[in-house]
Amino acid sequence: MPENGKRICALTMVRNDEFFLKKWVSYYGERLGKENLYIFFDGKDQDIPPCCEGTNAVLCDRVAGNVARADKGRIRFLSKRAEELFERYDIVIGTDVDEFLVVDPDLGLSLPEYLSSLKIKGSVSGLGIDVGQNLNTEQPIDPSRPFLEQRTYGYLSSRYTKTNTLSEPIEWGSGFHRVEGHQYHIDPNLYLFHFGCIDFKRLQERIDGSDRIANGWSAHLKRRARTIRVITNTKPGEWDKLVPLMRWIQVHTRAIHTLNKPTTLGLKLVVRIPEKFHKIL
């Protein structure tokens, strides 16, 4: 971390997903230091993979239940871990294992440098970019290459404009989608790239997985596949026009049924991801 910067860590919870975990450890480890990563494995029936060497990786009791119940259990667990980490850190980043907080490369600042420069009021959010495979033009993902060299399009989704980054102990809502009793603060230079839909074949395999079927995950994963359909069937717009528009909409509007979550007002906007991001992830 910068000598005069803030103490920053990142945490996640994962189950049987080494594919994204390798990317998560590599990305946040390079920026924050592996010693500042906290990885909680949902279930002691797993093995901690070699990519976690140097991190704080722990096998935990499985959070049981269907999707909704288990999500609430996991986020309560992670909120408590974040509260404990604030004894040693100034900022705690919490993400799913397929989510990556990125500062705009045009600023020329690292993620910890930029976060250290902010006066965060409880939490700060990056604009959600749901990256998906265009089935007409893009091949299956090659994990040995940067993902954004292989995926051209992003769906501007309020679902992934999450309250990932905390400056004080606050309870997250399920999936990091909100913070209890607090509003959103969407930063103009932060993005949250979600990669759960970058490969149709991989997503289909997860939908068909017996462990997920047994716990009600099929419908959830099929909803994710809509991102691939939207990206495949939608003409992309210009990043420099649509991203500021979508950020303005999400800053100024909230979902009627959940007033502390942003909305896109039903717009399905797809953008071409600029080349400046291609080598980052």
Model pLDDT, residue 148: 96
Largest CA distance in the chain: 49
Q: Which CATH class is domain 8-277?
A: alpha beta
Tokens 């071409």 belong to residue: 272
Domain assignments of the chain as residue spans, ordered by start:
8-277
Taken in order 66, 72, 76, 82, the sign of the CA dihedral is: positive
Q: 114-123: per-residue pLDDT in tens?
A: 999 999 999 9
Identify the band that residue 4 occupies on the pLDDT scale cut at 50, 70 and 90. Answer: low
Model pLDDT, residue 182: 78
Does residue 25 or residue 201 have the better pLDDT? Answer: 25
Are 154 and 130 in contact, with CB atoms under 8 Å apart?
Answer: yes
Q: Is the pLDDT of residue 219 over 60?
A: no
Q: What percent of the chain has pLDDT over 70?
A: 91
Does residue 21 or residue 252 have the better pLDDT? Answer: 21
Q: 125-176: per-residue pLDDT in tens?
A: 999 999 999 999 999 999 999 999 999 999 998 999 999 999 999 999 888 8
Taken in order 101, 10, 26, 159, the sign of the CA dihedral is: negative
Strand partners, 271: 154, 237
Model pLDDT, residue 213: 46
Q: 85-139: per-residue pLDDT in tens?
A: 999 999 999 999 999 999 999 999 999 999 999 999 999 999 999 999 999 999 9
Closest by Cα among 18, 56, 14, 13 to 37: 56
Q: 53-96: per-residue pLDDT in tens?
A: 999 999 999 887 666 778 888 999 999 999 999 999 999 999 99
Q: What percent of the chain has pLDDT over 90?
A: 72
Model pLDDT, residue 211: 53
Q: 192-214: per-residue pLDDT in tens?
A: 999 999 999 888 887 665 454 44
Are 72 and 180 in contact, with CB atoms under 8 Å apart?
Answer: no
Are 230 and 265 in contact, with CB atoms under 8 Å apart?
Answer: no
Tokens 């980054």 belong to residue: 165
DSSP H stretches of helix in the chain = 18-32, 67-85, 111-117, 147-150, 200-207, 210-214, 217-233, 239-252
Q: How far apart are CA 117 and CA 57, in angstroms?
A: 29
Are 16 and 46 in contact, with CB atoms under 8 Å apart?
Answer: yes
Taken in order 171, 123, 31, 8, the sign of the CA dihedral is: negative
Residue range 8-35: mean pLDDT, rounded:
96
Q: How far apart are CA 75 and CA 150, in angstroms?
A: 32
